Structure 1
């Protein structure tokens, strides 16, 4: 089965941070951009976030628009996309909102984390081990075998880094907010890694637009840009 099309979706500050170090979540998107993200979710077969994002933000990760959910059902799809997470350690609490809202859930883990998650998430989610370590390629193969054609990845930085550094991302939606964080200990969109083509390879910019005070850049990282 073919692997799903992988779309990385992220909102950052001007200096590339996805959050600050306060206890409150930093809101980088505006209301119009949140609505755009909801539309992209509705167009996806699955939405993925990492364990770190689940612990820090405790999101429900839903398609919020009733009209969009109805349109999915009318098209023969579940009201909500499949919700997916990754936890190498298996240290995810069963009381997180992610498990108790929306449709079906799926957790990818390692051989070490599998038994722990199967016990904690019994009746809440399917659990799949990708082996001794998280294998992003095996994850995509498994999603493809489940009929997932379009995967939306919403972070965090370690997850985005994994997909992009391994050449597995087909598209990036980068929303840039007019904010500066400036804290070197705050989380960033991408972590240090070796990326395909290195620092001299220019990705193709497919679209640049404004959504209120947010700039949206749409990149196609598997395609070459022009200097």
Structure 2
């Protein structure tokens, strides 16, 4: 049986747990030093995943920005850029988004009801896989493992993070906390309401805590609850 990838969730939040505010402009939570750390983590991974909502909202390129890090990947026999992955249950993804036109290979996971829509819009830009009537994260990880993905970085959004955490599929969490308060109930949060393994008393193991300028990085092992 092919091993599933190691799943690393990465997010930057405000002190009150928000990923962004409700304005049309992206709220920059990290500082330059932390953005470089994220770039280093990206370079260490075989694939990077974001949800369709995050793609539509932020329109990211989702690249390894450092030329040196890309060169190291190539020297190790890897593609310059990790595989870029997204998931969509609705199929509402435009071919005009930056995600499709930068980097190397792309992969879309969707459901049976949306696969024809996704193929019509994106069939020339990405591989497309249905996980059946519903989005099945087990199948997503199995397919990525089958494709040789050993290390998967998940960069949001909150719905994706919540699903992976509630299904106990995340091996590691990187949480960068910025000295900001958002305070907007409609703004996206890192995690939503869910039935998390172990309930509210299960404590995750802390792997690391350090300051990066005015940001604090916390690394946790979600599966190592006590």
Question: How do 1:40-189 residues align onto structure 2 when only pairs under 5 Å count?
Answer: 40-189=41-190
Q: Distance in 1 between matches of 2:64 and 2:28?
A: 18
Q: Report the Cα distance in structure 2 between the residues aligned to 1:54 and 1:207, rounded to whole angstroms.
A: 29
Residue deviations 1:10-68 (CA, integer Å, cap 9, x gap): 00000000000000000000000000000000000000000000000000000000000
Q: 1:224, CA displacement in angstroms?
A: 2.9
CA-based RMSD of the aligned residues comes to: 0.6
Detail structure 1 runs of 4+ shifted over 6 Å in the superposition: none
1:18 aligns with 2:22: no
**Distance in 1, Cα, partners of 2:51 & 2:130:** 15
Alignment of 1:219 with 2:220, yes or no, is yes
Greater mean deviation of Cα atoms: 115-124 or 154-163: 115-124
The one-character-per-residue Cα deviations of 1:142-174 (angstroms, maximum 9, x if unpaired) are: 000000000000000000001100000000000
SS at match of 1:221: strand
Q: What are structure 2's unaligned runs of at least 5 residues?
A: none
TM-score (ref. length: structure 1) = 0.98
**Inter-partner Cα distance in structure 1 for 2:225 and 2:52:** 32
Partners of 1:128 and 1:107 in 2: how far apart?
6
1:73 Cα shift?
0.1
Instruction: Quote the offset at 1:216 in angstroms.
Output: 0.2
TM-score when scaled to structure 2?
Answer: 0.99
Give the whole-Å Cα distance in 1 for the aligned partners of 2:168 and 2:224: 11
